[in-house]
């Protein structure tokens, strides 16, 4: 397992990521992905897009990251997107109150779930000290702190706006247009990969908890009454589940099962959530997460976000702790209903019946020549209120008079004036509010997991080396190409040709001719390059075809193969048609290691 310190040091030294704005003292919670990290991150995003957009047949959008206040009033983020803050009276440091409890109290894994009052009591009971200065925090108020970054749209005092705390809202607010592109047909899914911002109280652990990060989200819009996921595709996928019931039980344990069984036994309530857990399990395996250090954990009731009816997290084990790397929430009709209520647009779809149906409808046809003279300017409002009453409580019209409220006033109207009737009407469908199921992935946390799970050390040529065992699809560079020495024109020419040919085949190549060959191998091992190709004099001697050595990162084994075969053999490995082991079997290891030659 990687030592956290070693990994952070490697991340910085090799250009994966480092704290931003170092020249100005650094800014907590902001990280820059260096050349290797940016490439790794883009590859993770591309693999996500391939699975969750292309293979699932969804559409991708790109929405602005700043949105007006009204959006977050509707979404509930203004009111409910808070973390628990406690400030030290002595040194002024701010802390996540629930995290202090989790760090100090053995049997509490998720203090958010116990509520803000209890967290305050627990700080007092355990007399917790400020991690920064050691002063007691007992008695300090624990307060809700809204995590959104506020800004102002336009000059002057402008219009209040916020940096989006989740990419999802950019999809929800555009639902009235997105449903048109989907021709009003459910189910359909919309994805987005983009930046989200949260003013975290205490950012920590490198890129795991930061204030600006990338999310990859899918909003799946469904008709809850009719749409079912293609569960058969993931029925047999094996998963490790940690449901809420097991977390609450004294001797609670993981459940090793399949997606199909978990749905059948009701362990996962929503088949749609189960479907996405199955898809995600395969995806995490594909990109190289160590599945022995991976689980799906259900949220406890106090832990769920304000919009979620049920939620499961994908969690990876990092340095002995479990961290959430993705959430799979059943958001129901919460978001679309709220945006429908707060805006002028329609957040529903029209669901056509198989056959038109005839329904009885209570209607009124108020006599305005009587209502007008009697109630003056209030007459139109009264007419509307009568129709509402007819739909809500038709029996009210059995009486001689009905009372309705319009513009805050009560009015009593002769029932005869209302002209109440029950009419038969033909309806071809109804407007329904779709439900939303949301797989939401943190890209940075996935990147960190891949680095942690891929980090290994072993002995090669009597020296300890560290290497990153990254999947070829994800590794920042596919192949490194070296001339054994840089002052031999023939070697440089062949190495340059090999680089060009591989690049033209779409393989990413790093060309390096500086330093000892051993150091060049170590450098590529540390950035996770799966293969190194070295052009040496032995391969160019004689009349036979030119050969090069091909070295695999994890085994450090080297084989010699003809230059002419290199592109095809590598492509076969990258596409999964063959393994390096099989190639090694055909060619045999080189007898003289060029590192030591």
Q: How far is the CB of 163 from ligand GAP (least distance, A)?
A: 13
Shortest separation between residue 168's beta carbon and ligand GAP, angstroms: 4
The Cα-based distances of 26 to 10, 239, 452 in angstroms read: 19, 41, 24
**Closest distance to ligand GAP from the beta carbon of 446 (Å):** 7
Q: Which is nearer to ligand GAP, 31 or 574 (CB)?
A: 31
Q: Which is nearer to ligand GAP, 330 or 482 (CB)?
A: 330
114 vs 207 by CB, closer to ligand GAP: 207
Q: Which is nearer to ligand GAP, 140 or 166 (CB)?
A: 166
Whole-angstrom CA distances from 417 to 63, 386, 400 are: 52, 10, 10
Q: Which is nearer to ligand GAP, 347 or 511 (CB)?
A: 347
Smallest separation, CB 237 to ligand GAP (Å): 20
Q: For ligand GAP, which residue has the nearest CB?
A: 442
Question: Min. distance of Cβ 321 from ligand GAP in angstroms?
Answer: 14
What are the tokens at 352? 């056509």
Cβ-based neighbours of 552, under 8 Å, separated by 6 or more:
530, 531, 558, 580, 584
Residue 220 CB, nearest distance to ligand GAP (Å)?
A: 12
Residue 280 burial (C-beta neighbours within 10 Å; 0-12, 13-18, 19+): buried
Tokens for 171?
Answer: 């999809």
Distance of CA 238 to the CA centre of its chain: 21
Which residues would be at the binding site for ligand GAP (CB under 6 A)? 166, 168, 198, 200, 209-210, 213, 215, 217, 324-327, 438, 440, 442, 444-445
Nearer to ligand GAP, 95 or 560 (CB): 95
**In the complex with ligand GAP, which residue's Cβ is closer, 206 or 476?**
206
Separation of alpha carbons 529 and 495, rounded Å: 17
> Please, which residue, 340 or 444, has the CB nearer to ligand GAP?
444
| Count, residues in the chain | 597
Long-range (24+ apart) CB contacts under 8 A made by 131-136 are 131/93, 131/95, 131/100, 132/88, 132/91, 132/93, 133/88, 133/90, 133/91, 133/93, 135/88, 135/89, 135/90, 135/91
Residues 6+ apart with CB under 8 A from 265: 257
Can you tell me the distance from the alpha carbon of 469 to that of 15, in angstroms, rounded to the nearest whole number? 17
Nearer to ligand GAP, 202 or 486 (CB): 202
Q: Are 101 and 69 in contact (CB under 8 A)?
A: no
Evaluate whether 199 touches 167 at the Cβ level (below 8 Å): no
CA atoms within 13 A on the CB side of 272: 26
- For CA atoms 220, 221, 223, 227, the dihedral sign is negative
Which is nearer to ligand GAP, 100 or 122 (by Cβ)?
A: 100
Smallest gap, in angstroms, from Cβ of residue 212 to ligand GAP? Answer: 8
In degrees rounded to 5, what are phi and psi of residue 477?
Answer: -130, 140
Tokens 């003279």 map to which residue?
Answer: 373
Report how far residue 240's alpha carbon sits from residue 255's, in angstroms, rounded to the nearest whole number.
6
- Tell me whether strands 479-483 and 509-511 are parallel, antiparallel or unpaired: parallel
CB 155 to ligand GAP: min, Å? 31
CB of 219 to ligand GAP, least distance (A): 9
449's enclosing H/E stretch is helix 443-454
At closest approach, how far in Å is the CB of 217 from ligand GAP? 6
């Amino acid at each position: 397992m990687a030592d956290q310190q070693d990994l952070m040091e490697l991340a910085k030294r090799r250009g994966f990521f480092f704290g931003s704005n170092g020249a100005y003292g650094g800014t907590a919670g902001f990280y820059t992905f260096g050349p290797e990290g940016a490439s790794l991150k883009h590859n993770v995003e591309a693999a996500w897009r391939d699975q969750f957009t292309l293979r699932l047949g969804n559409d991708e959008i790109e929405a602005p990251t700043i949105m007006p206040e009204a959006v977050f009033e509707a979404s509930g983020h203004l009111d409910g997107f808070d973390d628990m803050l406690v400030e030290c009276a002595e040194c002024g440091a701010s802390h996540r109150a629930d995290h202090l409890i989790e760090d100090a109290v053995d049997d509490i894994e998720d203090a958010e779930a116990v509520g803000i009052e209890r967290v305050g009591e627990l700080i007092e009971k355990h007399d917790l000290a400020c991690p920064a200065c050691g002063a007691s925090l007992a008695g300090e108020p624990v307060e809700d702190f809204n995590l959104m970054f506020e800004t102002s749209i336009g000059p002057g005092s402008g219009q209040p706006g916020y940096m989006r705390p989740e990419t999802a809202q950019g999809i929800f607010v555009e639902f009235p247009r997105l449903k048109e592109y989907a021709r009003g047909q459910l189910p359909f899914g919309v994805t987005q990969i983009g930046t989200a911002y949260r003013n975290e109280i205490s950012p920590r652990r490198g890129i795991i908890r930061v204030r600006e990060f990338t999310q990859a989200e899918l909003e799946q819009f469904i008709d809850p009454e009719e749409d079912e996921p293609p569960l058969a595709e993931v029925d047999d996928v094996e998963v490790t589940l940690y449901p809420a019931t097991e977390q609450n039980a004294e001797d609670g344990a993981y459940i090793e099962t399949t997606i199909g069984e978990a749905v059948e036994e009701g362990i996962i309530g929503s088949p749609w959530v189960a479907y996405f857990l199955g898809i995600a399990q395969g995806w995490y395996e594909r990109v190289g997460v160590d599945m022995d250090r991976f689980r799906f954990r259900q949220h406890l009731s106090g832990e769920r976000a304000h919009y979620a009816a049920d939620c499961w997290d994908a969690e990876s084990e990092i340095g002995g702790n479990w961290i959430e790397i993705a959430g799979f929430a059943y958001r129901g009709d919460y978001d679309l209903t709220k945006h429908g209520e707060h805006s002028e647009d329609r957040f529903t779809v029209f669901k056509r019946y198989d056959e038109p149906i005839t329904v009885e409808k209570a209607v009124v046809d108020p006599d305005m020549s009587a209502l007008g003279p009697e109630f003056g300017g209030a007459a139109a409002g009264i007419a509307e209120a009568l129709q509402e009453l007819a739909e809500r409580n038709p029996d009210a019209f059995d009486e001689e008079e009905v009372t309705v409220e319009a513009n805050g006033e009560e009015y009593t109207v002769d029932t005869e004036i209302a002209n109440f009737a029950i009419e038969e009407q033909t309806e071809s469908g109804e407007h329904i509010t779709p439900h939303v199921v949301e797989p939401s992935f943190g890209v940075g946390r996935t990147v960190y997991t891949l680095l942690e799970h891929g980090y290994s050390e072993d002995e090669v040529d009597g020296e300890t080396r560290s290497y990153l065992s990254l999947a070829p699809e994800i590794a920042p560079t596919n192949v490194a190409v070296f001339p054994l020495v840089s002052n031999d024109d023939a070697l440089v020419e062949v190495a340059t040709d090999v680089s060009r040919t591989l690049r033209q085949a779409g393989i990413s190549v790093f060309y390096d001719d500086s330093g000892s060959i051993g150091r060049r191998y170590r450098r590529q091992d540390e950035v996770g390059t799966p293969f190194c190709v070295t052009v040496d004099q032995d391969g160019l001697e004689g009349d036979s075809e030119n050969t090069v050595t091909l070295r695999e990162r994890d085994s450090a084994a080297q084989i010699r193969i003809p230059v002419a075969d290199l592109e095809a053999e590598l492509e076969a490995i990258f596409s999964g048609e063959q393994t390096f082991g099989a190639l090694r079997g055909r060619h045999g290891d080189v007898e003289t290691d060029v590192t030591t030659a």
